[in-house]
Amino acid sequence: MPAVANFDPNSKLDLPRNVADYPPNVWGDFFLQYASESMELDQNIAAEIDCLKNEVKNMLATNIENPFYKVKFIDSICRLGVGYHFEHEIDQVLQLIHKTYVVNGEIILEDNLHSLAVLFRVLRQRGLYVSPDVFKKFKDEQGNFSERNITDVEGMLSLFEASHMMIHGEEILEEALAFTSTHLESISTQLNPSLAAQVKHSLTQALRKNLPRLEARRYISIYEQNTSHNVILLRLAKLDFNMLQSLHQMEFGNICKWSKELGITKKLPFARDRIVECCFWSMSVYFEPQYSQARKMMSKVIAHLSFIDDTYDSYGTIDELELFTKAVERWDISCLDDLPNYMKILYKSLLNVYEEIEQETRKEGRIYTLNYFVKDFKKIVQAYMTEARWLDKNYVPAIDEYMSISKITSGYPVLSTTSYIGMGDIATEDIFNWVTTMPKIVNGAALVCRLNDEIVSNEFEQKRGHVCSFLECYMTQYDTNREAAIQECQKGVENAWKDMNEDCLTQTKVPLPLLTSVLNLARFIEVYYKDKDNYTHSEGLMKTHIKALLVDPVPI
């Protein structure tokens, strides 16, 4: 019989537990005011948005007399957050530009650095390959980027953003990144305040690594200040942003209501109470109205992963965790009796969420997606268990062993799969077979999550006793110091982005929205695990951003 079989689940409740001192929730009941069955749409605004959409569509449909003009227009549409209305039109234009002006990967058009860099980035963002050799002409005889470029701030900024599309082996983009970063940094103090702010922003949050809604909120004001802005497009962006904000408010309100009625955070006081941030996490993965249901499911899954993570990381004893792991492996409500009371609450709630997803997917004829979900969910819980055993035995694994488990516990493999459940017919069974075998893009997102998390969370976590981190494993294996281990983490993150960029160019059978949701998972980490873990410590940047996207409308 296994050692845990005779364990009485409720006999050890007074054991000393490894409880983390998490900061409280910062939103209280704020979002409950928005809970509602349906969204009240201002019909006049909705009609105006429709009208503006048609006008922009017409602008996109005209001939491509000036491909650079067209590409910059498309770039503005996307950065302003309204690209989702024109997916088909944008695809058509960019395919045509790629077919006409890119021969064997080489751009055959001539223009300045800014125009070429925008063209390069916009095509690659759509999964269309273009060679970075187009930037060779901006180098000097010695093969370095020419100093003449330095005063062209717009060009430098565009080259900086373009360089983030790099894949493996693109040395010229590595050089471009180093060159533009250094010079933009040093020139930023001499620029006018508005340009200086843009440069500063890009240097801390490159466009490729930024979340689309944050970019939209920011870019609306930058675009407005640009004297040659398109008035119709700007108005559409503002109205659309605020309309989506109302939808997101209602969704946050409904999830907060569900959470309050469930009362689970009160029943599991050891866990982080972060329901608003969980909603924000899923809204970061996809913001479009058609994914409203998908966001709802995803928010509930993220919330449960968060409770489970805290159970394994801190509160649960090793024997209890073995029981919980077995119960998840069996995935059956009859396992409830084997669990201590606090785990019963968690397990039951998890199965309820599963049932809810089952009902939704049944309606859509997509019930098969659940097998993939459950398989991935079991994997993460088993991996949490492995980490708990490591901590229990003070075991420090070799790097490879550590990474094979900690990529799973990053949560990003199971969340990538979960994100596809509500994405409709584009997420076919073939796609689920692909996403659940850790393709490069998912592996990359998991690495971005795990390695960034380790850099910023290590000290807080080790204070309370936490499974060893990548940093410890690396320092032990290579007998080196913390700085070297952090550098290795950073290198790992850079490589992970190259992998993800590569998959975006080569996985031509995977529709762009599916690749984008995994990219957005990685972007969430790039924004919120930069200087600290803003999910756990949610009173700073996270709160400011939630306020900007969910509370304050864009001034019209």
Ligand X SMILES: CC(C)=CCC/C(C)=C/COP(=O)(O)OP(=O)(O)O
- Enumerate binding residues for ligand X (CB under 6 A): 302, 305-306, 309, 313, 409, 411, 415, 453, 457, 533, 535
Q: Which two tokens stand for residue 266?
A: 């009160």
Which secondary structure element, helix H or strand E, spans residue 106, and what is its range? strand 106-107
Q: Count CB atoms within 10 A of the CB of residue 448.
A: 28
Nearest to 413 by CA among 454, 370, 444: 444
In whole angstroms, the minimum distance from the beta carbon of 271 to ligand X comes to 10
Nearer to ligand X, 75 or 387 (CB): 387
Q: Which two tokens stand for residue 30?
A: 């704020």
Number of H helices, E strands in the chain: 23, 2
Nearer to ligand X, 180 or 314 (CB): 314
SS3 sequence, 306-347? HHHHHHHHHHCCHHHHHHHHHHHHHCCHHHHHHCCHHHHHHH
In whole angstroms, the minimum distance from the beta carbon of 234 to ligand X comes to 35
In whole angstroms, the minimum distance from the beta carbon of 401 to ligand X comes to 16
3-state helix, strand, coil in the chain (%, to 5): 75, 0, 25
CA distance 130 to 511: 19
In whole angstroms, the minimum distance from the beta carbon of 524 to ligand X comes to 8
Nearer to ligand X, 434 or 470 (CB): 470
Q: Count CB atoms within 10 A of the CB of residue 213.
A: 22
Nearer to ligand X, 128 or 546 (CB): 546
In whole angstroms, the minimum distance from the beta carbon of 396 to ligand X comes to 16
Of the chain, the end-to-end C-alpha distance in Å amounts to 69
CA distance 229 to 546: 27
In whole angstroms, the minimum distance from the beta carbon of 549 to ligand X comes to 19
Helices 113-125 + 153-163 axis angle, to 10:
20
In whole angstroms, the minimum distance from the beta carbon of 468 to ligand X comes to 11
In whole angstroms, the minimum distance from the beta carbon of 117 to ligand X comes to 33
CA distance 95 to 129: 11
Nearer to ligand X, 181 or 462 (CB): 462
Nearer to ligand X, 75 or 533 (CB): 533
User: C-alpha angle 186/189/193, rounded to 5°?
Assistant: 135
Nearest to 283 by CA among 271, 263, 298: 298
In whole angstroms, the minimum distance from the beta carbon of 390 to ligand X comes to 13
Nearer to ligand X, 81 or 411 (CB): 411
In whole angstroms, the minimum distance from the beta carbon of 525 to ligand X comes to 8
Q: Which residue is nearest to ligand X (CB)?
A: 411
Nearer to ligand X, 201 or 532 (CB): 532
SS3 sequence, 436-488? CCCCHHHHHHHHHHHHHHHHHHHHHHHHHCCCCCHHHHHHHHHCCCHHHHHHH
Nearer to ligand X, 223 or 528 (CB): 528
Nearer to ligand X, 97 or 421 (CB): 421
